Amino acid sequence: MQQKHNFGAGPCILAPSVMQQAANAVINWNDSGLSILEVSHRSAAFENVIRKTQLLVRELLNVPNDYSVLFLQGGASTQFAMVPMNFLQKKSRAAYLDTGYFAQKAIKEARLFGEVEIIASSKDKNYAYIPDYSSNDQRVAYLHCTSNNTIEGTEMFEFPGFGIPLVCDMSSDIFSRRINVRDFDLIYAGAQKNMGPAGMTLVIAKNKFLDSVKAEVPAMMDYRVFRDNDSMYNTPPVFSIYVAMLNLLWLKDQGGVEGIEKMNIKKANMLYQEIDRNPLFKGTANVAHRSRMNVTFKAIDEATEKAFLQFAEELGLVGIKGYRTVGGFRASLYNALPIASVEVLVNAMKQFENSRKL
Ligand code: PLP
């Protein structure tokens, strides 16, 4: 079988050793004679798993003690509604940064619950940059941002909150770089990029912010219910949590978030350098806001684009076709993608250029 280099945007790219451990646990978990899929989520053994996973999140991201770490379901898309359902009352207002496809989805859901003010947008340039923003309106319930725009390939490197509670969708860059959790009142992320399999959503929230909720919300949409029941109000996504634990242990072995961040910078620099050097390609995102997780670029024309896609596929490079709203290519460089795969892609771009000169 040809070796594949997976540049896909997910769900769930994991190191081979983690995949192997997960596969073993499906057959016979820790020599218990049971599959991880069938053990009771109320068993001491699984309670140990969920506790350990929470502690790993705390350790790897330096989560302060006055923040809760929750494992929910429904993906980041449910958070688009859950955040305003909890924090945006009918008579209040929330501020949103409109930085791309997923930010737009979050805005659409928030409008169901109250007034939404878009304080800055990069829609004018097809979301190729992060807009400047500021706010001194202390009456807004929160300010919502998206740290990494998975489709457009832009990333925020600064997070001024202007004294307003800051809520951030970190689905596609959490655990890829250091963050200061104190900059945020609530962070959410679908697990399936750098944390583990789809099915689990991570929420890190300041307890004081959670305690400010006045709205009556259904139990499954109430952060406090999950906090007060240690993320076990109902059956948790057992397998996703277990594999996340394995993956976070792997991350610890890579030198933690600091170690992986160095590697991620190296991988992204290698690819952007080639995009900027190679006359057949050009980057689509503003240089200052280029994402380290999702590298978006185009070929000089459609015929070249098609030819390179085919060339890359023959070399085992998969998942590099860009999302339809941006076009071109998107190479996702999540934590588990080895630097060797980036080298293969860069060499493919060079070879492709040379083949055109003949
Ligand atoms: N937000 C961002 C930044 C994403 O990248 C994604 C999915 O890729 C989502 C939200 C939606 O996440 P989910 O599929 O978990 O609902």
Can you give the three-state secondary structure of the chain, one letter per residue?
CCCCEECCCCCCCCCHHHHHHHHHHHHCHHHCCCCCCCCCCCCHHHHHHHHHHHHHHHHHHCCCCCEEEEEECCHHHHHHHHHHHHHCCCCCEEEEEECCHHHHHHHHHHCCCCEEEEEEECHHHCCCCCCCCCCCCCCCCCEEEECEECCCCEECCCCCCCCCCEEEECCCCCCCCCCCHHHCCEEEEECCCCCCCCCCEEEEEEHHHHHCCCCCCCHHHCHHHHHHCCCCCCCCCHHHHHHHHHHHHHHHHCCHHHHHHHHHHHHHHHHHHHHHHCCCEEECCCHHHECCCEEEEEECCHHHHHHHHHHHHHCCEECCECCCCCCCEEEECCCCCCHHHHHHHHHHHHHHHHHHHC
Candidate from 104, 149, 172 with most ligand 1 atoms within 8 A of CB, to mutate = 172
Q: Is the pLDDT of residue 281 over 70?
A: yes
Mean per-residue pLDDT over the chain, rounded: 95
Across 112-123, average pLDDT: 96
Domains located in the chain, CATH noted: 16-253 (3.40.640.10), 256-357 (3.90.1150.10)
CA of 303 to the centre of ligand 1 (A): 31
pLDDT-above-90 percentage for the chain? 91
Across 35-39, average pLDDT: 94
The model's pTM = 0.97
Across 234-262, average pLDDT: 97
284 labeled binding residue: no
Confidence of residue 271 (pLDDT cuts 50, 70, 90): very high
**Using a 6 Å cutoff on CB, does residue 146 contact ligand 1?**
yes
Which pLDDT score is estimated for 30? 93
Least confident interval from 161-165, 174-178, 273-277, 338-342: 161-165
162 labeled binding residue: no
Per-residue pLDDT tens for 96-116?
Answer: 999 999 999 999 999 999 999
User: Higher model confidence: residue 1 or residue 271?
Assistant: 271
Which pLDDT score is estimated for 263? 98
Which pLDDT score is estimated for 358? 67
Confidence of residue 356 (pLDDT cuts 50, 70, 90): confident
What tokens appear for 168 in the block?
């951030």
CA of 44 to the centre of ligand 1 (A): 32
Which pLDDT score is estimated for 181? 98
276 labeled binding residue: no
Which pLDDT score is estimated for 136? 82
Measuring CA to CA, how many Å separate 113 from each of 30, 93, 117, 257, 329? 46, 9, 13, 36, 36
77 labeled binding residue: yes
**Using a 6 Å cutoff on CB, does residue 127 contact ligand 1?**
no
CA of 302 to the centre of ligand 1 (A): 28
Per-residue pLDDT tens for 167-188?
Answer: 999 999 999 999 999 999 999 9
Residue nearest to atom 4 of ligand 1 (CA): 171
pLDDT-above-70 percentage for the chain? 99
CA of 77 to the centre of ligand 1 (A): 6
Respond yes or no on whether ipTM tops 0.95. Answer: yes
Which pLDDT score is estimated for 171? 97
